[in-house]
Chains A and B, each alone.
Chain A
Amino acid sequence: MSEPDRLKTDFSGSIADLVDGYLTGRIEAAGLSELEAKLLADEGARREFLRYCQMQADIGFAVRASVAGRRALQTIQAPAAQAPAARRSLLDVGAVAGKAPGILSEGLDARPLRRKLRLIAAMALACLLAAGAWGMASRWWGDRGSPAGGDRPGVTAWLVNAQDCQWEEAMAPTGDMRAGGLLRIKRGLAEVGFRCGARMVLEGPASLEILSGTSARILCGRATVKVPENARGFTVLSPRGRVVDLGTEFGISVAEDGITEVFVFKGLVEAASGGDRDRNPAAVRIGERQAAVLRREGISFLRESEAAASLQFVRKIVPPWSIVPRALRIEFRGAVDGTLRDDRGAGTGFTHRLPGTGSSLNELDANLQLRAAEGKLELRTTASDINTQFRLDQGEYLGMRLSELGFSGTEDFAVAVSIPDIPPMDFVGQFGLFAGSRSDRVIRGGLISLRKPEAYSLFLVNNDGGLDSDLHTVGLLSTGDDLMLTLRRAGGKYSLTVENRTTGRSSALAIRHPGYLDGESDLVVGLFAANPRGEMRRTVLIDEFEATVWTVPQ
């Protein structure tokens, strides 16, 4: 008889039923004794019993590995699905998740600490996958749809979301939670879902004990609870009482001494004071937008002003902003149809002028010349000046509307230009970048020529009403240097950065905030060059222009 056949004989009949009953928890005490006796007596039976257990585990592995794998793939694929649609002539630099431009955050996964604590388990899972369960799962699931995820039998609650969460040591959820499970968070937010459908957002520092699928105990800390209609009766205990939901959303705050505050956002709750193990505590009903304090000696309602403090509850975990930079880059390597044209009719790539400027310039602008072969644009100065609004009908203030990059008035943005070999100009001759809604509501900055020949200073200046104000000048530059200028609004504040690519130095300037531009949704940004006091026209070369708006997708 072959080995498998012999084992099959050992494991046939009633013992198999007993083993199955044991593994599914449906065995009676008598059956367990019978099974134990058989296993104690026969090594073959023990061997088969262990194999049967192993198979049961392997089935679970196959299914779970498939679910875990599919979730992982969904997570990996999610950012690609969120990428904004490409726009013609617009360069989507990429999606950045974070609270500010340039700051990368945890993004999709807001559960770093939970992940850290499960490192070893994850490692084991990875090994398991490598060892073959993954392959088995793949074969098992084939091309079938993903099974529904979520809780499993015996599980009363589970962590559904977390943000910036730091758990007390050994008090992080290591999986789905059962009755008696304790969560302690030092800081951050954790959202727990209960089997009945109730959701709780816990705000650290806080301690929560899972009592059942329909109840929990807050030992300290703050939480909001949202209970769907079909889960009415969900109960939250505290050291000073209990709150029973009657179809509602409420906040609960438990101080270190156990004193408990309850605020009802919607619906109605029944609150009872006393120790959380009192059987017949005094109960009151708390209605919408009412707040009460539960003490050992009783319940007192809070006045509206006192209740206002209760409105500070975090009711929802809001994911970090997803910031998407959208940019337009012009490299002057060819004519762009439908844009402002140069002296020979070639589209420069710029689409708009600062309102109030350039009205008397020809459609074929004699001050512009595209040198596509070199990737440069020539901009010739005119005798005009934003300050005092001098001859601005001839002023060269070229650019684009930020709204075309998704700007709506609140987003941060940056506009940059690269200027090689800066030319000499007459006194107060200037060139640089601007952002504004019209010629007398604009901030501009760049280089301004000094009395000393062939010397410049950096400047940034406001113009609200036609006259320059808050002028800030700094530094000294020489003609012939290559520069990169960047006018930026970051965190709502404007600044100008000048990077001297010849010397390797850079400077930044900031001035009084141009409040007149706040909330302005139709800003034009661009570059300018002017030689207000000189009839001699100078040429500024531009070899790269870029505008970027950091948008928040809806």
Chain B
Amino acid sequence: MALQVQFTKDLEEAQGKLFGYIHSLVRDLEDADDLFQQTCLILWKKYGEFDRQRSFFAWACGIARLEVSNFLRARCRSRIYFSDELNLLLLETMEKISRDEAAERREALAGCMVKLRQRDRKLLEECYGGPASVTEIAERSRRSPQSIHNSLRRIRRALFECIHRTLAQEMKT
């Protein structure tokens, strides 16, 4: 039971960044979802072997990277993914992003999402939580898929900018 409690604590601290790392390697949120779950199961299975002197996050990312490699190999689609060299560099960079920063950014994102226009919120809702693909959403709203992609890109960029502004303002105050 103590092991489980400790594992939960470690995972809780690392999971946001771990998911982000997996997502950065496989792009697709669904794939990232599956791989994250798969990685969590492996982490739990191997947790007894984990050396507590090491960083849990680094250990978890190492395992995740292997899982991602296997996944990409199975899909035979590595040509549209990054090289292993870049994956390792991304892992190093990821370790430098603090957990606090990730939490601050998440908090800032929440505030930024509230500020979105109604129709932009609706589009995010449809694309991230709804049942339809971009093509289906485009058909339904009588727009082209490209137009939907453009809107999503604009919204994401706006949110990204908004997060920067929010954090910059907080630093000033």
Contact = CB atoms under 8 A, between A and B. Distances in A.
Given A24-B149, A39-B89, A153-B134, A176 B124 contact: no
A174 B93 CA distance: 30
A60 B19 CA distance: 11
Contact of A50 (B44, B80, B93): B93
Interface in B69-96: 79-80, 82-83, 85-86, 89-90, 93-94, 96
A154 B30 contact: yes
A50 B20 contact: yes
B114 A67 contact: no
Interface residues of A, number: 70
Contacts of A174: 34, 37-38
Contact of A4 (B11, B129, B167): B167
A421 B160 CA distance: 81
Given A32-B80, A55-B156, A57-B20, A2 B128 contact: no
A112 interface: no
Contacts, number: 190
Interface string B15-55: 11101110110011110111011101100100000000000
A148 interface: yes
Contact of A52 (B128, B152, B160): B160
B129 A147 contact: yes
Interface stretch (A129-137, A258-266, A425-433, A451-459): A129-137
Interface in A17-56: 17, 20, 22-27, 29, 32, 36, 39-40, 43, 46-47, 49-56
Nearest to A54: B20
A43 B93 contact: yes
B6 interface: no
A5 B168 contact: yes
A59 B125 CA distance: 10
Interface stretch (A117-125, A398-406, A497-505): A117-125
B109 A58 contact: yes
B139 interface: no
B15 A132 contact: no
Contacts of B102: 54
A56 B29 contact: yes
Contact of A124 (B15, B29, B121): B15
Interface in B147-168: 149, 152-153, 156-157, 159-161, 163-165, 167-168
A50 B160 CA distance: 12
B168 A63 contact: no
B66 interface: no
Contacts of A25: 27-28, 80
Counting chain B CB atoms within 10 Å of each CB, the highest count among A25, A59, A131 belongs to A59
Interface string A103-133: 0000000000000001011011001101111
A59 B131 contact: no
Interface string A161-178: 000000000000011101
Determine chain B's interface SS by DSSP, over half rule: helix
Nearest to B154: A20
Contact of A23 (B19, B27, B165, B167): B27
Contact of A136 (B19, B27, B109): B109
Contact of B114 (A52, A56, A128, A140): A140
A56 B163 CA distance: 12
Interface string B106-138: 110111011000000100111011111110000
A66 B125 CA distance: 10
A132 B107 contact: yes
A155 B110 CA distance: 27
Contacts of B86: 36, 39-40
Given A47-B93, A128-B15, A131-B103, A53 B131 contact: no
B171 A154 contact: no
Contact of A152 (B8, B40, B85, B131): B131
A104 B29 CA distance: 38
A64 B156 contact: no
B129 A56 contact: no
A149 interface: yes
A150 B131 contact: yes
B1 interface: no
Nearest to A59: B128
A57 B32 contact: yes
A522 interface: no
B106 A120 contact: no
A139 B124 contact: no
A147 to B, nearest CB: 5
A4 B89 contact: no
Counting chain B CB atoms within 10 Å of each CB, the highest count among A57, A67, A136, A140 belongs to A57
A16 interface: yes
B128 A54 contact: no
Given A62-B113, A64-B128, A135-B110, A57 B89 contact: no
Contacts of A4: 164-165, 167-168, 171
A46 B15 contact: no
A151 interface: yes
A8 interface: yes
B133 to A, nearest CB: 4
B131 A149 contact: yes
B90 A46 contact: yes
Nearest to A11: B160
B131 A123 contact: no
B37 A127 contact: no
A7 B164 contact: yes
A120 B109 contact: no
A3 interface: yes
A133 B110 CA distance: 9
A7 to B, nearest CB: 7
A50 B18 CA distance: 11
Contacts of B79: 29
Counting chain B CB atoms within 10 Å of each CB, the highest count among A3, A66, A131 belongs to A131
The 6 closest A-B pairs by CB, nearest first: A150-B131, A63-B129, A136-B110, A54-B20, A127-B12, A153-B133
Interface of B: 8, 11-12, 15-17, 19-21, 23-24, 27-30, 32-34, 36-38, 40-41, 44, 79-80, 82-83, 85-86, 89-90, 93-94, 96-97, 102-103, 105-107, 109-111, 113-114, 121, 124-126, 128-134, 149, 152-153, 156-157, 159-161, 163-165, 167-168, 171-172
Given A131-B16, A175-B33, 19 more contacts: A24-B27, A26-B149, A36-B83, A39-B89, A40-B86, A50-B93, A51-B160, A53-B24, A54-B102, A55-B105, A57-B29, A59-B109, A62-B113, A63-B128, A64-B129, A132-B106, A148-B130, A150-B130, A178-B30
